[in-house]
Structure 1
Amino acid sequence: MRSTILSYRKLEALIKKKSRQSPFLSLSSLGKSIEGRDVWCVTIQKPIDSGTEIVQNRKRSRQSQKKTPVVITASIHGHEATGSIALLRFLDKIQKEAKSIQWLDDLVVHCVICCNPDGYVHKTRYNAEGFDLNRDFLTQSQPETQSIVNLIVKVKPAVVLDLHGYVWKRSIHTHLGLIEPCTPPHNPAYEYDLYLKWALPLAEHMEAFLVAERDKFSGERFKSIKGTYIPYRDGKNGWDDYSPFCCSMYSMLQGATGLTIESPSRSEDGTTWLVLAVTAALSHISKHRVELEKNQTAFFRRGIKNHHPTHSPGLFPKYFLLTEKSGFESAYRKLILHLQQNGIKLYSSTEEFKYEGHTFPSGTTIVPMNQARANLAYCFLSRGEDLSSGSERLSELCAWSLPLSWGVNCHPAVEKIMAGMKPFKSFENDVQPVPYPEKPNPEAPVSVGILIDDGLFHKKSHSGLKLALQQMKIPFKELRAKDLAVKKALSSIDVLIYNGYEHLFYPPSNIRSMYRDFVLDSPDQQDACRKNLQHYLQKGGKVIGIGAGASKALTMILELSEAEVHSGGWNKNALLQIHYKDHAITKGYLTEDTGFVYRPAWFTNIGKMNVVASYGKGQDTLLAGYWPDYHQAHGKAAIITNPEGNLILFGLEICFRGHTSYFYRLLWNAIHSEPRK
């Protein structure tokens, strides 16, 4: 039987009511969602002792009156509402049994009942801007993500439990749901020995409790439960924790024991499964809170001493040195503010100094790596690794490097800096949008249209494009694939931009029934789109395709070019060296500069098309990420344009998840470059 999923209005009303009725519950708003809904946090603690603050070098005894903080998050994916319902029922339990719950003597628990209220309302995985919030914890581009990050930075939880659904490994019928820790590869910024020491026993304790309490379930499969799927213990690969874009993995970089917990189903038993798992977890955390706190203190102490015994010698430098990249000054401000908001200490040099042949000006930002959050700083600022030769199958993104993807000079220093330093003062003003030097003629503004997909494959692949345009303050009109079958749809558009799946232009017979509302209605409609776009180009309209999906659709399906598009496959991603030619589209970039790919694409048989940029040829041109067959793209075209300049195809992902703002200028240039008459 499916669990009763409440409307958000009802959920919110019950949260407020329960918080008023119990002295053990207090309610606060962490911030607002995109559509203005509160991100509510219910704090559970004994009213007579509400101490919550933990300091990084704390030394506590069992008699300490301070409480160990725990954070529980739910419904980061809005359509996975079982977590919110489970927490609501857990609050019922607190109301009724608080005086007899022993862990309340030791813990203060912050429950973010619904991290993604807009997604909950609209029954979508993503938020109102189309962003998967559980892929946003490094970039923190969305207000909901920022709310959760601020909570974690403020309370420094010893444990973070992130409630999700729905995972049921059919190959192991008696093991229901999933509880981390994960399979390799593990991010080198983690102190994995400290993490695993407590994450695995915590997972196994929850598992044992679920088995022991199986009489609480109603369905036969749940009543027959013999365990849960714990990837570290039960899997070989495919559920890795390399990417810290997710809530639980991000919390590991803040010293917490973070676990993603996946309910087996949306059913009543699935909700009960989560309630039991949380109950068991808090009991275990309370019992071992002293050891967990010592473990967290050991994490911070390794950072303070810059001593990481399980890592390769020299992995962590003594400092990172940050300076502005010419033309990208606001990116530097953005990165500095980002580091500060995540609790990382910064300093400024008080004089000019030299290091490894480079001269650094007075005022250079210095990030010392002998600080508590050194692991997080390393994860933000290091270039990353090339994982292409590994045997593990990665489940998510593994290339990011904020300096490379945002546009900031970052130099690791392994020796002492011979310069004075003072604490960095905050900027007086908030970070401004990235400036672009060539402003369009205000008397003749460019009218931009973008293709949207409304949620194909439970995603909104155009969301990164939307955010890029919004940050560059470029107005745009939204169009759907079906709109292009009507000739007049493009009559008021100067530039059409497509960043999404090629499947958007499939007829319904070529796609699964659950996604047919997002695609074309018939082959005739596909033919109409093809003719209308070809006519649009002939009349001087501009079409920009970004990434493998758009490039394949515009060439293979809509026949705007005879160029052949090759794709490196899903989830292959990398930061790499790109050779940019002197062209209006590449203005502002060096001849040898960087690029980013996700589902990489490159072009051959380009015919009359012009190559604007190409992939590097050397063995070291893949800087970080996972693209095992990158050799196939060596020296191949990465950006091409037709001779008229009004058809531009990017094999790169230049506006990915709000994360690659250094490459937004390529989009700006492409929009405003003048087609040849």
Structure 2
Amino acid sequence: MHGRGTAHPIRLAGGLTALALAAALLVTAPTAGAQAASPPGPAAVAAASVAPAASAEPCDPFTAPSLDASVPTARDVIGIDLGDRDVTTQESDAYLGAVADASPKVTQGVLATSVQGRPLRYAVVGQEKWVTPAGLERIGRDLGRLRDPKTPEAQASQTIRSMPSILWVAGNVHGGEESGTDAALRVLYELAARTDCAADEILDDAIVVVLPTQNPDGREADTRRNAYGFDMNRDWFARTQPETDGKVEMLRKLPPQLFIDAHEMGRATYFFPPNADPVYHDIGETPLDWIYNLYGPAMQEAFGRFSIPYFNGDVYDLFYMGYGDSVPATGFNAAGMTFEKSSGDPASQRVQEQYVAIWATLSAAGAKDDDLLTQWRAEHVKAYEQGVAGELEPNQLYWEGAPITNPVPDITVKHYFLRTDDPAKTEEVQRVVRRLQRMDVDVFRLVRPLTVPDYTPYGRPAASTTLPAGTYWIPMAQGQKHWVQAMLNEDTYVPFPYFYDVTAWSSPLLENIAGGRSGADLKPQAAPLALQAEPVTAVAGAAPRLGVWQISATSTGSIESAGWLRWWLDNRAGLKHTDLTAAQIAAGALADIDVLVVPNGSDSTASNALGAAGRAALDQWVRDGGRLITLRDSSRLATRLGLTSASYTSPTSDIPGSLIRVEVDPASPLSAGVGDTAWAMYEYEFVWSAAAGATPVRYPAAGDPDWFISGFAEGEEQLHGTSAVVDERVGDGRVVLFGFDPNYRAFTGGTARMLLNAITGPDPSASVQVGAAAPRSTAAVSASDRMVISVRPGAADRVQALLAARGASADVVRSPGVVSFRVDLGGRTADEHPWAQEVALDAAKLGPQVVAIRLP
């Protein structure tokens, strides 16, 4: 364990630190005329039938291999070589099946079915004795024993000697990022067909699970997201989508020591770890050591050998628990790694470079023999020992030179508790517990009351408390300690202000359930809790005729918010709905609708799409008795139409996706089943103000003991006492404006309950009546879909110059001591954008002048 608040530079090849080599490892393209070695392409591999030349280094995987001709090539099955073009999902499935049918070293299966009904096919390649159904079942069972710290060490050592490590290769979690699929298929072929020592070195002590595509619907549609509109590299801990859920269940059956997640990006180069900071504090040192000291150097060597441009250590962090690297690392103690290849290069180049990265990594794992399992087992034991002591891992920096500004506090956490004494929260508690159990966390139920001398409820001070029988107890003393802390934390303790994604995701806060922690030595009388079923949402009252209007088909924010809403309506609330367009609204379609929900989207885009006829139709429908519910930015449409007395202004704070406690008026119908407080996911939203009678949900005032933020916040005082939700009567109708998205990524169940109440609940008995308000607009600046760079005034000119050099369009928001640039990325994510990541990296070099950098 290292000192709190200090940089911990992991050592790379040659004994130099990551901090010292940060610049040196940014490899550039070969100079003109340079002669670089090149690994054999797919066609050369397919044609090879002889062993490597005698002058080649032993087990060099990048020389022409000897091959078993009985294993078909891609050309044999689908008529092309891998890399000629991106294969289709059907071609990927066909080729995987053909290799599995031909080779006794390969078995295949389906781990999930996509939203549109496509199978997610995987292959397992290894020694024949291991890849039989019985062999894989035994391996999974033995790995479970290794994960259990209570397994005797002698038994664990014996198990390790007789079983393989598990190496996962996955591609195409974003549908439009295709080359990971094709490269994974090439790796599968070579593992099955190669008869040389390069393949043997991997398969002597490992099996490789190959999942070519994690998002077949997105691949077929050439979209980043799945059919519902979810970014499935943000869905890992919540597991709302069937593709993610089936994948994580398969990971539980064959828990990895290595997980490769092959992506593409807009930037013109290649990224592989080491990662950028921040790194989530409670990830074990073993997987980080593998990433930084084993796999990172192996890829650096391979890419250097072939003069392939690459970069390490910027942009892609290992923090939020929704990624294909952070969840394997935290939940499975695996080396979870994201690979990113430029999407603008030809298919042959993309596939080739992905192949080099994957094979170099697998080769490095193979060279470790059974050390991987020995160290993996030891990490679970160490996690248990930390849990016994109540010790949290500190914040550490693995790449950046900036100081840690927010260290993990020096607290002892030995136990978490979830209260079960509020019947209204039964569904939410059950969902949290089921998610824990389905990541192999032990959960217990108190059979007798327990007095806890230092019980610390979420966002409240500690006090002696007697917890009733029936309370759920989650001890930290278990092999899954890191995952327990990641899911049940009160705060994520972001070490410094750089954000690739949201900064808070505590499960009890997301579901708005009561719970807390203790660092005391306790001996609860408790019984193991059986696996909980997936809870069912109870909908009170008659279901209305419900319409959903997605404002934009191209904006990231609009696509995702609408997708989250449709999934929640279909799969959790069980409410039928009709999708409407602006043209249909203008043509009178609202006559058949009782409630219209408008997900996040630009109000100006909405107003323009409606036209004069649509704006008039929507206004009249509300005044005649319709119920309009708007989410996040779309709420501004109500001000354009004069349907609200509320006003809004631009956020001057930097809150990039944090959970803020809000106060709920118990007299409002929105509060049913919610309680007096909830937690809103706030992400650079507009700041709303309305009359007290029109504000059923508000942010606490300054000095209010309810005020608490989980995650990063700077300038948060702007929100004190402002409106989080506005609820007003308009003629005979009603308008409910959510200033945030209450169904964020479909995992904010606590505030989604408010949304359900807004859709199905009664009108307020008394509320503010909006008169004939004049339509109006405000020059407030939205940060939705935008990169945010906030700096001290002295650095503003330098940021302006960085943006001007790229011809970037940015709105500027000024507040005391801060200048914030809201950079228009054209509705794209930073992954998809060609230069957003580079600008963010350059801005980060301003050091203490940086207030916050956020990439959408």
CA distance in 1, matches of 2:409, 2:618: 56
> SS in structure 1 opposite 2:711?
strand
| Aligned-partner Cα distance in 2 for 1:554–1:302 | 55
Give me the whole-angstrom Cα distance separating, in 2, the residues matched to 1:456 and 1:536: 27
Matches of 2:611 and 2:92, distance apart in 1: 43
Q: If the length of structure 1 is used for normalisation, what is the TM-score? A: 0.86
Q: Give the corresponding residue for 2:76.
A: none
Superposed CA offset, 1:199-232 (max 9, x none)? 02312311321231x3xxxxxxxxx53x42112x
Question: Is the CA contact 1:452–1:460 (under 8 Å) kept in the aligned structure 2?
Answer: no
Shift in Å at residue 635 of structure 1? 0.8
Report SS of the residue matched to 2:325.
helix
CA drift of 1:567 comes to 4.3
- Is 2:613 the counterpart of 1:537? no
Aligned residue among 677, 688, 698 for 1:614 = 698
Q: CA deviation at 1:284?
A: 0.5
Does residue 11 (structure 1) correspond to residue 116 (structure 2)? The answer is: no
- The residue identity in structure 1 corresponding to 2:637 is A
Give distance in 1, aligned partners of 2:654 and 2:550: 20
Q: 1:66 to 1:461 in 2, by over 3 A?
A: same
Mapped pair 1:122 → 2:221: yes
Aligned counterparts of 1:98 and 1:599: Cα–Cα separation in 2: 56
2:381 alignment partner in structure 1: 301
Alignment of 1:563-602 (within 5 A): 563-568=646-651, 572-581=656-665, 582-602=667-687
Provide, for residues 371-423 of structure 1, a one-character-per-residue CA deviation record: whole Å limited to 9, x for no partner: 10111011111122464xx6422010111111111133222121123432222
Does the CA contact (< 8 Å) of 1:321 and 1:410 recur in 2? yes
Instruction: Tell me which residue corresponds to 1:487.
Output: 587
Greater mean alpha carbon deviation, residues 158-167 or residues 294-303: 294-303
Match of 1:69 among 166, 169, 178: 166
Task: Supply the distance in 1 between the matched residues of 2:182 and 2:316 (Cα, whole angstroms).
Answer: 26
Out of 79, 83, 90, which is 2:176 matched to? 79
Q: Deviations over 1:441-472 (max 9, x none)?
A: 4xxx4111011257423543212222332312
- 1:278 pairs, out of 358, 365, 376, with 358
**SS of the residue aligned with 2:424?**
coil
Match of 1:159 in 2: 258
Q: Which amino acid letter does the alignment assign opposite residue 623 of structure 1?
A: I
Higher mean alpha-carbon deviation, 302-311 vs 119-128, is at 302-311
**Residue aligning to 1:172:** none
Amino acid at match of 2:490: R
Query: Does the residue aligned with 1:91 lie in a helix, a strand or coil?
Result: helix
Contact 2:446 2:527 in 1 (8 A): yes
Shift of 1:244: 1.3
Matched, 1:332 2:429: yes
What letter corresponds to residue 640 of structure 1 in structure 2?
Answer: V
Q: Distance in 2 between matches of 1:272 and 1:115?
A: 20
Distance 1:309 1:423, change over 3 A: closer
CA shift digits 1:490-533 (9 cap, x unpaired): 110111111122167268xxxxxxxxxxx83xxxx533332221
Aligned residue for 1:394? 499
- Structure 1 contact 239–394 (Cα < 8 Å) conserved: no
Structure 2 counterpart SS, 1:595: strand
Structure 1 residues 5, 157: closer, same or farther in 2, change over 3 A? same
Contact 2:270 2:341 in 1 (8 A): yes
Structure 2: distance between partners of 1:422 and 1:44: 40
- 1:574 is displaced (CA, Å) by 1.7
Residue 599 of structure 2 is matched in structure 1 by 499
- In the TM superposition, what whole-angstrom CA distance separates every residue of 1:317-353 from its partner, at most 9, and x where no partner exists? 2111122233021222222221111111122222122
The verdict on how the C-alpha distance between 1:426 and 1:197 changes in structure 2, with shifts beyond 3 A counting, is closer
Alignment root-mean-square deviation, CA: 2.7
Gaps of at least 5 residues in structure 2 are 1-81, 395-407, 454-463, 770-856
2:644 to 542, 556, 561: 561
Within 5 Å, give how 1:183-262 maps onto structure 2: 183-191=276-284, 193-201=285-293, 202-212=295-305, 214=306, 225=308, 227-231=309-313, 235=314, 238-253=315-330, 254-262=332-340
The corresponding residue for 1:218 is none
| Residue 372 (structure 1) aligned with residue 479 (structure 2) | yes
The 1:108–1:668 alpha-carbon spacing in structure 2 relative to 1, beyond 3 Å, is same
Alignment-mate amino acid for residue 403 of structure 1? P
- Listed one character per residue, the Cα deviations across residues 252-278 of structure 1 (whole Å, up to 9, x for unaligned) are 112111100112235210111001111
Q: Which one is further off, 360-369 or 650-659? A: 360-369
* Equivalent residues in 2 for 1:399-414, closer than 5 Å: 399-414=504-519
Of 611-620 and 408-417, the range deviating more from structure 2: 611-620
SS at match of 1:135: coil
Structure 1: distance between partners of 2:691 and 2:516: 41
Are 1:674 and 2:763 an aligned pair? Answer: yes
* Alignment equivalent of 2:549, drawn from 441, 451, 455: 451
Structure 1 635/285 Cα, relative in aligned 2: closer, same or farther at 3 Å? same
Q: 1:16: how far off? A: 1.0
Mapped to 2, the partners of 1:64 and 1:316 lie a distance apart of: 37
Superposition map of 1:345-364 within 5 A: 345-356=442-453, 357-364=464-471
Given that 1:162 and 1:247 are in contact with CA atoms closer than 8 Å, whether structure 2 keeps it comes out as yes
Displacement, 1:24?
A: 1.7
Is 1:425 the equivalent of 2:530? Answer: yes
Q: How far did 1:117 drift?
A: 1.3
Give me the TM-score of the superposition, normalised by structure 2.
0.69
- Alpha-carbon deviation of 1:45? 0.3
Q: SS state of the match for residue 486, structure 2?
A: helix
Change over 3 Å in CA distance of 1:8–1:570 after alignment to 2: farther
1:419-447 CA-to-partner distances (Å, cap 9, x unmatched) read 322222234xx3332335xx224xxx411
How many aligned residue pairs are there? 626
Contact 1:334 1:431 survives alignment (8 Å): yes
Distance 1:119 1:545 in 2: 28
1-structure distance, mates of 2:282, 2:746: 23
Deviation at 1:157, TM superposition (A): 0.9
Residue 627 in structure 1 maps to residue 627 in structure 2 = no
Q: 2:512 touches 2:678 (CA, 8 Å); kept in 1? A: no
| Contact preservation (8 Å) 2:655, 2:716 | no
2:646 and 2:378 map into 1 onto residues whose CA distance is: 56
- 1:447, 1:495 within 8 Å by CA — same for their partners in 2? yes
Supply the distance in 1 between the matched residues of 2:378 and 2:634 (Cα, whole angstroms): 48
Counterpart-to-counterpart distance in 2, 1:273 and 1:426: 43
Q: 1:651 corresponds to which letter in structure 2?
A: G
Letter in 2 for 1:446: P
Q: For residues 103 and 593 of structure 1, what CA distance do their matches in structure 2 show?
A: 50
Asked if 1:472 is matched to 2:552, the reply is: no
Task: Provide the C-alpha distance between the structure 1 equivalents of 2:99 and 2:614, rounded to a whole number of angstroms.
Answer: 54
Task: Please state whether the residue corresponding to 1:456 is helix, strand or coil.
Answer: coil
Contact 1:396 1:571 in 2 (8 A): no
Q: 1:65 to 1:474 in 2, by over 3 A?
A: same
Give the CA deviation at 1:608.
10
Amino acid at match of 1:319: H
Which residue identity is paired with 1:502? Answer: S
Cα separation, 2, equivalents of 1:365 and 1:263: 45
Is the contact made by 2:678 and 2:751 (CA closer than 8 Å) also made in structure 1?
no
Unaligned 5+ residue runs, structure 1? 170-175, 215-223, 508-518
Q: % of aligned pairs identical?
A: 20
Shift of 1:612: 1.9
